[in-house]
Chains A and B, each alone.
Chain A
Amino acid sequence: MSLDQLYQQIILEHSKLRHGSGLAGADLPAGAASGQSHQLNPVCGDEITVRVTVAEGKVSGLRWDGEGCSISMASASVLTDLADGLEAAELQRVIDSFREVLRSRGKVPADPEILGDAAAFEGVARYAARVKCAMLSWVAAEDALAQALAGQDHPAGP
């Protein structure tokens, strides 16, 4: 497998674009709830914090803060674009699909219908050492989403 199949153009671009980067505190709209999760890759010391906001069962925003390799930065950026406006259950389905592809060591092809631009990370699955880089923000988003949903069930005071 060639390096270009790992570093697809979409990945190199998103690693620079970093959509969703910056966690500046935004006010939560009434009825919305948010969750936040910090994840660390102990191998390289890379860290990411992802915040997911949910309103009426839909993802109304995903923001993150972190530093890392091009794979981890691009995957957070692509995830930001994908998540916006999805039903919470839909985002979970996308995350599950992404995880299945990445952990398959190349055996499960990515479905662009479900994963959109994130299908470009298919090649990462063949590089066991890099799977964690691609998954970092997605694991954080999954955790943040669960917290946001729990918060929505029990909204904080007025």
Chain B
Amino acid sequence: MVATPAHLLRSATALGNEEVMRIRNDFPILQRTVNGRPLVYLDSGATSQNPLSVLEAEQEFYEQRNSAVHRGAHHLAVEATDAFEDARETVAAFIGADPDELIWTSNATEGLNLLSYSFLNASLPGCPAESRRFALAEGDEVVVTEMEHHANLIPWQQLAARTGAALKYIPVDDAGNLDLDAAAGLIGSRTRVLAFTHASNVLGTINPVSELVALARAAGALVVLDACQSAPHLALDVKALDVDFAVFSGHKMLGPTGIGGLYGRAELLNAMPPFLTGGSMITTVTMDRAAFLPSPQRFEAGTQKISQAVALAAAANYLGETGLDRIHAWETTLGQRLVEGLEAIPGIRVLGPAAGRERIGLAAFDVAGVHAHDVGQFLDSRGIAVRVGHHCAQPLHRRLGLTASTRASTYLYNTTDDVDAFLEAVAGVRGYFQA
């Protein structure tokens, strides 16, 4: 058992503009200008910015401790290994996991591929008995949702195609919520894996994890949670959520690029076949075979993302010290302000839950008669950074009758002024493009 992480114990008083202004001083990039205007960064849903403590942690590692981990007897190697494993402990506690249940990956996408390839390996002839519970075959089903990011879709599509299993989709209703009645009908004795996102990167919807987990448990299916849009923004506790696996990306939670995490229940990870193989993940190697280490080393072949792990731990500490509940409460305020403001502009259609309904601090929308690319270009000319396109969710956009949309996404360093500057600019878009 891990102790309840400190960030879960915080009171939920939201941050305020004054505190946010102090937070902004920790982020060098937020001081720059774009097109002669102060940067208004509303693209943290894609990639967040880094506070000084994260940048310094990475630099300090390279200046003082840089060395290989888990090999070599010299002093630097020991310090590097300690820093690497301390980072694992910090980030594991941040998501409510035990350290040996957290595997470093390059990003969430790699974590999901690790799972799907491991399950594929388990489906091949000759797979050891303890791994057979992960095998898929014709007649089995993998269930995902219509709102998945391609990262939590294509690995399952590929796994289904290669094993003969069927891929099923839980539909999204017009209000941007999963249709739970349909889910109850879809998840059954054939379901081997249920993979869904905690929070939608397009709709902003927060999905009802416990209801979905209950359906999967009743069916005996494994549960995979895409926590990319939740881990950075709300107090995540994978044990309390009772999921089997969860993935997240460091660069969306104030950390560097090149690192992410895969959580898995220890008992499952130690029974799964490896994905990448090679050095650092074995016990005994002969000329024809190898035995593998337990988790997490079992899934960490080759030289690891050491400085990134150290920097990600600094990011987790920064978030924990600020308080995830306070961040979540503030972003809820910003998210509602975004949606209310957008809904008040003629010709704007907000995707996902309406104003007053729960959503994370982002909003994607369509502008009548103006393509998302043009919207993004117009906003950029005013120093406002947003994301345009299908946001790696083509099936969802097709379901909504769109090919692309514009998305503004907030984080703990955004003020209500950022949101207001964005809304004012959006109000000018249709006029500029004569729509």
> How near does chain A come to B314, taking the closest CB pair, in angstroms?
32
B389 contacts the other chain (CB 8 A): yes
B388 contacts the other chain (CB 8 A): yes
- Determine whether the beta carbon of A44 is less than 8 Å from that of B404: yes
Give the residue name and chain of the A residue nearest to B382 (CB).
A3
A150 contacts the other chain (CB 8 A): no
Give the residue name and chain of the B residue nearest to A13 (CB).
B434
Complex interface bits, B398-435 against A, C-beta within 8 A gives 1, otherwise 0: 00000110000000000000000000000000001110
Select which of A2, A3, A45 is within 8 A of B397 by beta carbon: A45
> How near does chain B come to A43, taking the closest CB pair, in angstroms?
6
- Determine whether the beta carbon of B389 is less than 8 Å from that of A43: yes
Q: Which residues of chain A from 103 to 150 have any CB-CB distance to chain B below 8 Å in the complex?
A: 127, 130, 133
- Determine whether the beta carbon of B404 is less than 8 Å from that of A3: no
Instruction: Indicate whether A45 sits within 8 Å of B394 (C-beta atoms), given known contacts A2-B381, A12-B433, A12-B434.
Output: yes
- Determine whether the beta carbon of A133 is less than 8 Å from that of B373: yes
Instruction: Indicate whether A69 sits within 8 Å of B397 (C-beta atoms), given known contacts A44-B388, A44-B389, A44-B403.
Output: no
Residues of B within 8 A of A2 (CB): 381
Q: How many A-B residue pairs have CB under 8 A?
A: 49
Residues of B within 8 A of A68 (CB): 371, 373
- Determine whether the beta carbon of A3 is less than 8 Å from that of B373: no
> How near does chain A come to B375, taking the closest CB pair, in angstroms?
9
Main secondary structure of the interface of B (DSSP, over half): mixed
A101 contacts the other chain (CB 8 A): no
Whole-angstrom CA separation of A2 from B37 in the bound complex: 13
Residues of B within 8 A of A3 (CB): 377-378, 381, 432
Complex interface bits, A1-25 against B, C-beta within 8 A gives 1, otherwise 0: 0110011000010011000000000
Give the residue name and chain of the A residue nearest to B435 (CB).
A16
- Determine whether the beta carbon of A46 is less than 8 Å from that of B377: no
- Determine whether the beta carbon of A45 is less than 8 Å from that of B404: yes
B372 contacts the other chain (CB 8 A): yes
Whole-angstrom CA separation of A71 from B432 in the bound complex: 14
Complex interface bits, B347-391 against A, C-beta within 8 A gives 1, otherwise 0: 000000000000000000000001111100110010000001110
Residues of A within 8 A of B403 (CB): 44-47, 67
Q: Which residues of chain A from 38 to 62 have any CB-CB distance to chain B below 8 Å in the complex?
A: 43-47
Whole-angstrom CA separation of A3 from B34 in the bound complex: 13
- Determine whether the beta carbon of A44 is less than 8 Å from that of B377: no
Residues of A within 8 A of B372 (CB): 44, 69
A70 contacts the other chain (CB 8 A): yes
- Determine whether the beta carbon of A44 is less than 8 Å from that of B397: no
Whole-angstrom CA separation of A44 from B388 in the bound complex: 8
The winner among A3, A6, A130 for most chain B CB atoms within 10 A is A3
Whole-angstrom CA separation of A130 from B434 in the bound complex: 20
- Determine whether the beta carbon of A70 is less than 8 Å from that of B374: yes
Residues of B within 8 A of A45 (CB): 389-390, 394, 397, 403-404
The winner among A45, A71, A127 for most chain B CB atoms within 10 A is A45
- Determine whether the beta carbon of A127 is less than 8 Å from that of B377: yes
Whole-angstrom CA separation of A12 from B430 in the bound complex: 12
Give the residue name and chain of the A residue nearest to B371 (CB).
A69
Whole-angstrom CA separation of A98 from B411 in the bound complex: 41
Residues of A within 8 A of B390 (CB): 44-45
Whole-angstrom CA separation of A7 from B381 in the bound complex: 12
Residues of A within 8 A of B397 (CB): 45
Whole-angstrom CA separation of A6 from B433 in the bound complex: 12
Select which of B373, B404, B433 is within 8 A of A130 by beta carbon: B373
Residues of B within 8 A of A44 (CB): 372-373, 388-390, 403-404
Q: Can you identify 17 A-B contacts, CB atoms within 8 angstroms?
A: A2-B381, A3-B378, A3-B432, A7-B374, A7-B377, A16-B434, A45-B390, A45-B404, A46-B371, A46-B403, A67-B403, A68-B371, A68-B373, A69-B373, A71-B374, A130-B377, A133-B373
Chain A positions near chain B (C-beta within 8 angstroms): 2-3, 6-7, 12, 15-16, 43-47, 67-71, 127, 130, 133
- 5 closest residue pairs by CB, A with B: A69-B371, A69-B373, A3-B381, A45-B403, A44-B389
Given A70-B370, A130-B373, 11 further pairs, Cβ under 8 A: A3-B378, A3-B381, A12-B433, A43-B389, A45-B394, A45-B397, A45-B403, A47-B403, A68-B373, A69-B372, A70-B433
